[in-house]
Amino acid sequence: MSLKYITTREGSQVIDSSKAILNGLGDDGGLYLPTEIPEVSLADISDLVDASYQDKAKFVLKKFLNDFTDEEIDYCVSNAYNSNTFTDANITPLHVLNHKSAVLELYHGPTSAFKDVALQILPYLLTTSAKKNNDNRTYVILVATSGDTGKAALEGFKDVPDTKIMVFYPNNGVSLVQKLQMITQLGENVKVVAVDGNFDDTQTGVKKLFGDLDLISDLETKNHTFSSANSINWGRLVPQIVYYFASYCDLVKDGKITLGDRINFTVPTGNFGNILAGYYAKRMGLPVNRLICAANANDVLKDFINTGIYNRQRHFYKTVSPSMDILISSNLERLLFILSGGDKALISSLMSSLKSTGEYRVSDELLAKVQSVFSANSADDLDTIETIKRVFIDFDYLIDTHTAVAYKVYEKYLESTGDNSFNVIVSTASPYKFSGAVAEAIIDNYSDFSELDLLEEIHRVSGVHIPKGLYRLEKRTVRFDESITKDNMESSLRDYLGL
Ligand SMILES: *Cc1c(COP(=O)(O)O)cnc(C)c1O
């Protein structure tokens, strides 16, 4: 029971994992992480090869959430990963392309994006953490979303006891499919509202609500408290470590690799959460050779990994892989903390430099540590569409735009290094979720169709099933058609909570 949690910045306390999950972000602005990284032997991995995804999840979660009982972990895992929530019995199935590469499909959850893997279990981790700490308050989850996170959080928290969730999305900032997914959301404890403006307006509004002391004290009188479901919560990171183990085990089971062989993962990266989970898996003892970070035209991470300079002062591109249109990669802070040997003073100063000047630079020594594990490159929109088309023709296999960025970056890596270790391309969304760009790649007269009709058309051309969560969205009952100005976010929330 020695594993505890601290933050990446100065002045943090040492707490248990359940507290870290409840707190979300440290008081000092830092991110929580474990004081040590649990070790896993090859014999342990060998034992996992024939285990179910659920048992692999229990194995990994128990190592990190060591103040949870076995019963509590079992409860969280079995509610999150089952045949009601994921359409594939393997939860995160592996699609082998050839003797040297495979695609890890993380998009078989209810919203067809990889965020489901973490957001299906987070509500259970959160409510279990509250119970463990004798906290009987109702947790009110507030989310500002540019698309994928809002819907995945709604599906995760839908009808979970002792929680309520309210999602604000920008009226002009999400796709039609994403909007329909949210405004038709089912569940008794959910609320969705459109806000006039862009994503930044919406996010700024939500941050203001989180910090509104009057509102917080009114919540307390109702025995309610705020929480957030965003990707810096440790409860979102730890479930993602599982699928790195699961894919490795599947390759061993299929005879594609031998236990102990070192493999590469190429990960389409935005906030650095997914690839950081891969780094934790490697540090635990999973035989990983390199982690290849794939960026779109917003290539701030590629530049950082190649030069040691993180500079967010650059043009922001709206790309066909919008979930990676990010210039501040929050989870990188955790990696820098680990690689600097827990140098809190350094991390505090790097992050304050990022805030004040938009830039920081790490030492050559720290950069060398980053580069000993990570490689990075980028792919633009033209590359992305061309790659979807080529993979579809060569392998009769359809990938989404984010996965295509990873595929292209893997090809560049292979060409420049000749490293032919087995490579797993991490696939983060169903091709139907980004149907416009996918149709452009595989359907000649795609512009003759409306955004929604394209789904049927992609199905006709590819034969891939339309996920049930995206099927005939326009036929569902709209439950949330409220649209407000950003000045009315507080009154809308008060109205929902009866304050
Ligand atoms: C969120 C998201 C990403 C980026 O993941 P990070 O953990 O933020 O690096 C990539 N692809 C899709 C489809 C996503 O929704």
Bridge partners, residue 262, by sequence: none
Test site for ligand 1: of 323, 388, 435, most ligand atoms within 8 A of the Cβ: 323
The residue whose C-alpha atom lies closest to atom 8 belonging to ligand 1 is 271
The residue whose C-alpha atom lies closest to atom 11 belonging to ligand 1 is 428
The dihedral built from the CA positions of residue 356, 359, 361 and 367, taken in this order, carries a sign that is positive
Q: Along the 499 residues of the chain, how does pLDDT read in single tens digits?
A: 589 999 999 867 899 999 999 988 888 888 999 999 999 999 999 999 999 999 999 999 999 999 999 999 999 999 999 999 999 999 999 999 999 999 999 999 999 999 999 999 999 999 999 999 999 999 999 998 877 899 999 999 999 999 999 999 998 778 888 899 999 999 999 999 999 988 878 888 998 998 899 999 999 999 999 988 888 899 999 999 999 999 999 999 999 999 999 999 999 999 999 999 999 999 999 999 999 999 999 999 999 999 999 999 999 898 999 989 888 888 999 999 999 999 999 999 999 999 899 999 999 999 999 999 999 999 999 999 999 999 999 999 999 999 999 999 999 999 999 999 999 999 999 999 999 999 999 999 999 999 899 999 999 999 999 999 999 999 999 999 999 999 999 999 999 999 8
- Cα gap 224→317, rounded to integer Å: 39
Q: Which residue type does 148 have?
A: D
pLDDT of residue 1: 54
- Cα gap 59→61, rounded to integer Å: 6
Helices of type H across 81-198: 115-119, 122-132, 148-157, 176-183
pLDDT of residue 177: 87
Q: Which atom of ligand 1 is nearest to the CA of 402?
A: 11
The dihedral built from the CA positions of residue 489, 32, 240 and 333, taken in this order, carries a sign that is positive
Fold category of 94-113+236-468 in CATH: Rossmann fold (3.40.50)
Read off the tokens for 449.
């169709």
115 is catalytic: yes
**Of residues 58, 63, 115, 256, which has the active-site annotation?**
115
The residue whose C-alpha atom lies closest to atom 15 belonging to ligand 1 is 323
Q: Which residue type does 164 have?
A: K
DSSP tag of 400: -
Angle at CA of residue 459, ends 178 and 115, nearest 5°: 35
> Are 185 and 466 spatial neighbours (Cβ–Cβ below 8 Å)?
no
Q: Which atom of ligand 1 is nearest to the CA of 267?
A: 9
Q: Which atom of ligand 1 is nearest to the CA of 274?
A: 7
In a 3-state reduction of DSSP, which class is residue 21?
A: helix
Characterize 278-297 residue by residue with b for buried, 16 or more Cβ atoms within 10 angstroms of its Cβ, and e for exposed.
bbbbbbbbbbbbbbbbbbbb
> Are 379 and 411 spatial neighbours (Cβ–Cβ below 8 Å)?
no
Q: Which atom of ligand 1 is nearest to the CA of 273?
A: 7
Test site for ligand 1: of 103, 104, 114, 405, most ligand atoms within 8 A of the Cβ: 114
- Measure 315 CA to ligand 1 centroid, in angstroms: 20
> Are 121 and 160 spatial neighbours (Cβ–Cβ below 8 Å)?
no
Lining residues, ligand 1, CB within 6 Å: 113-115, 148, 231, 268-274, 323-324, 402, 428-429
- Cα gap 116→81, rounded to integer Å: 10
- Measure 70 CA to ligand 1 centroid, in angstroms: 30
